[in-house]
Amino acid sequence: MSFKNFGLLEELIRAVEDEGYTEATQIQKEAIPLILEGSDLLAGSQTGSGKTAGFTLPLLQNLITKGVKPGRPVVRALILTPTRELAAQVEESVRTYGKYLPLKSTVVFGGVNINPQISRLRTGVDIVVATPGRLLDLVEQRAINLSLVEILVLDEADRMLDMGFIPDIRRILKLLPQKRQNLLFSATFSNDIKKLADGFLHNPKMIQATRSNEAAPSVTHIIHPVDSKNKSKLLSHLISSQKWGQVLVFTRTKHGANKLTEDLFGNSKITAAAIHGNKSQGARTKALKDFKAGSVQVLVATDIAARGLDIDQLPYVVNFDLPHVPEDYIHRIGRTGRAGHTGNAVSLVCIDERDLLRDIERLLKQSIEKVTIQGFEPDPSIPARPILMGGGGRGGSSQRRNGPSRSSAPRSQQGKPRNSSQNNQNRKEQFRGPRRTPA
């Protein structure tokens, strides 16, 4: 279906065509008409499905064609996201698709000086994209008025739940007018998400554009068994020998991300940058910008960035460490194989992660191909060791779960880690599957 079929404003069609898009994705086909008619919406869609444009385009049109414009600049639309990176990229999409419209937007998040954000808000903006903690800071300083918001969007609601943001969201809801349009997007629909939705959505339409926790069919999965101590050397070997040009790598801990960037350069002079909660927002923004520009070949991230990165035609995502929660595997690899492009999900798996792998395969309902690389064969005499929640495992960091930094963390509490179905009793089992050496 063409975007022209939705009855979108000519200015929006021009902006979409400028980006080279002609055909709508499934979530866009289902969400755009419902949002345009003013319905509340509960939408399930996996990362990489095009949901940002799915709510941004009709939101922009509704602000132009519906509602009463106040006589002074006020916030008319509020979009809440769980992470800084996601907030920045959603606001970038708002500016991109709304560039021919007389609407102003800004993004606010923690980790940076609040004063420039206050100054921008005072000039008057129609749309604010925010993380919950910084938004409440601005409310307390009376720098923002939410009493005339016409449209509220909760993006990545399940991630907000995981990070403990729900109490902050409930505080924000009390600051909004009763009459407004509400849109909630989530990759999964847990009972807690449904309970949250019941509390503020009014007779919502519900759509599920993709099956919950389903990996994109355009992504190829592969496992490389390897001893933990040899992972960084194997990754260097794969990047160099197979000439991978742009690689996003996920580690379990912040310490592990920092160490891997040093190892990659030390092993093969591969340029890499780390992005995680302990990095300043300036450093995180620069790392992502350099990676997109190609001046940095490898971006190493923790799970806080799994749903906040939007990189066009990213060919490779590497799980240097498998995640504790199998659903996070889906969110990680959702950075590749986007918008119809093919992608590759490569995981370097040691014996300690045997049960984590089993959980992921159970979620995917498939066995992932296992290929042993010559010269990096695992030592069968090495016993498995338990991996603590948030720890780096053998030789890694002992820090606890990798939560958000203060700047993006909820005010009330951290989200409790979800329970994994991992079972450490059978970890001494060796990997099964074909053992081959690629040509």
- Per-residue model confidence as pLDDT tens digits over 388-400: 665 545 544 333 3
**Sheet with strand 272-275: strands edge to edge:** 219-225, 343-349, 316-319, 247-250, 298-301, 272-275
What pLDDT does residue 70 have? Answer: 52
- The pTM of this model reads 0.67
What pLDDT does residue 9 have? Answer: 94
What pLDDT does residue 211 have? Answer: 55
Residues contacting residue 177 through CB under 8 Å, at least 6 positions apart: 147, 148, 149
Higher pLDDT, 114 or 439: 114
Domain 3-208 matches domain 219-417 at the CATH topology level: yes
Could you tell me the two tokens for 265?
């350069």
* pLDDT, the chain, mean: 83
* Mean pLDDT across 186-211: 81
* Mean pLDDT across 169-173: 94
Give per-residue pLDDT as tens, 23-72: 888 889 999 999 999 999 999 876 667 889 999 999 999 999 986 565 55
* Mean pLDDT across 372-382: 95
What pLDDT does residue 212 have? Answer: 54
Give per-residue pLDDT as tens, 313-338: 788 999 999 998 888 888 888 778 76
Domain 219-417: what homologous superfamily?
P-loop containing nucleotide triphosphate hydrolases (3.40.50.300)
* Mean pLDDT across 138-167: 91
Q: Which of 165-169, 207-211, 376-380 has the highest mean pLDDT?
A: 376-380
Give per-residue pLDDT as tens, 269-302: 999 999 887 887 788 888 888 988 889 999 999 8
What are the sequence ranges of the domains in the chain? Answer: 3-208, 219-417
Domain 3-208: what homologous superfamily?
P-loop containing nucleotide triphosphate hydrolases (3.40.50.300)
